[in-house]
Chain A
Amino acid sequence: MSAPHVAHSPLWLRQAPRLTVALFLVPIAAGLLGTVLPAFGWLPAIGGRSVSLAPWKALFSQPGIRDAIGLTLVTGLTATVLSVILVFGFCALVHGRRPGRAGRALIAPILATPHAAMAIGLGFLIAPSGWIVRLLSPWLTGWHQPPDIASVQDPHGIALTLGLLVKEVPYLLLMTITALGQVPAVRHMDAAAALGYGRTVAWVKPVLPQVYRQVRLPIYAVLTYALSVVDMALILGPSNPPTLSVLALRWFTSPDIRMYFPAAAAALLQLAIVLVSIGLWRGAETLVAHLGRRWIARGARGTLLEPLAGLSAIAVAGLAGLGVGSLAALAVWSFAAGWRFPDMLPAHWSARPWSGQIGTILWPLETTLVVALFASGCALLLGLACLEHEQRRGVAASSRTLWLLYVPLLVPQIAFLFGMQVLLTVFHLDGSLIAVIWSHLLFVLPYVFLSLADPWRALDKRYARTALSLGARPRRVFLRIKLPLLLRPVLIAAAVGVAVSVDQYLPTIFAGAGRIVTLTTEAVTLASGGDRRVTGVFGLLQSLIPLAVYGIALGVSGRNRFRRHALGAQS
Chain B
Amino acid sequence: MSGPLRLEQVSITLEGRMLIPPLSVQVDGGQILTLMGASGSGKSTLLSVLGGTMAPVFRVTGRVWIGEREVTDLPPERRRMGILFQDDLLFPHLSVGENLAFGLAASVRGRAASAARIDAALRDAGLAGFARRDPATLSGGQRARVALLRLLLAEPEALLLDEPFNKLDAAMRTDFRRFVFEHAQTAGLPVLMVTHDQADAEAAQGPVLELLQAPEGTPVIQRSSGSGSLRKDTEVRPGKVGLPLATEVRS
A residues with a Cβ closer than 8 A to B are 1-8, 393-395, 460, 462-474, 480-481, 484-485, 560-562, 564-565, 569-571
Contact = CB atoms under 8 A, between A and B. Distances in A.
Contacts of B62: 1
Contact of B76 (A1, A4, A393, A463): A4
Contacts of B105: 471
Contacts of A480: 102
Given A395-B55, A395-B56, A565-B93, A468 B77 contact: yes
A244 to B, nearest CB: 48
Given A4-B74, A471-B105, 7 more contacts: A394-B55, A394-B57, A469-B82, A470-B82, A471-B77, A485-B93, A562-B136
Interface string B57-87: 1001111000000001111111111110101
Interface of B: 48-49, 51-57, 60-63, 72-83, 85, 87, 89, 91-93, 102-103, 105-106, 134, 136, 150-151, 154, 156, 160
Interface centre among B82, B89, B93, B136 (most CB of A within 10 A): B93
Q: State the majority secondary structure of interface residues on B.
A: loop
A469 to B, nearest CB: 5
10 contacts: A1-B60, A2-B73, A4-B52, A4-B73, A6-B56, A395-B56, A464-B53, A470-B77, A484-B93, A562-B136
B48 A465 contact: yes
Nearest to B82: A469
A8 B92 contact: no
Contacts of B79: 469
Contacts of A7: 75
Contacts of A562: 92-93, 134, 136
A460 B60 CA distance: 24
A241 B51 CA distance: 67
A390 to B, nearest CB: 11
A460 to B, nearest CB: 7
A560 B61 CA distance: 44
A472 B154 CA distance: 10
Nearest to B137: A562
Contact of A468 (B61, B76, B150): B76
A565 B77 contact: no
Contacts of B150: 470
B12 to A, nearest CB: 10
Nearest to A395: B56
A5 B134 contact: no
A484 to B, nearest CB: 5
A468 B91 contact: no
B92 A5 contact: no
B94 to A, nearest CB: 8
